[in-house]
Structure 1
Amino acid sequence: MAEVSLDVEAPLEAVWAVLADGWSYVGWVVGASHIRDVDPGWPEPGTRIHHSVGPWPLVIQDTTEVVHCKPFHVLELDARLWPVGAARIALTLRARSASLTEVRMAEQVVRGPSTLLPKFVQDVLLIPRNKESLARLDALARGRAEHAG
Structure 2
Amino acid sequence: LPGIPRFDEHGIWKYREILFSQYGNLMQTISQLIERSETGLNARQIAQLVEIVPNSSVFSRLQHAPGIRREKHQGRFVYFSEEKYQEQKSGLSRPHHVRFPTDSESVMILVQLVKYPHSSIEELFERVAEQGIRIEPQVIEAFLNHHGLLKKIPDTK
TM-score interval for Structure 1 and Structure 2 normalised by the shorter chain: under 0.3
**Higher percent of residues as strand:** 1
For normalisation by structure 2, the TM-score amounts to 0.27
For normalisation by structure 1, the TM-score amounts to 0.28
Larger radius of gyration: 2
**Higher percent of residues as helix:** 2
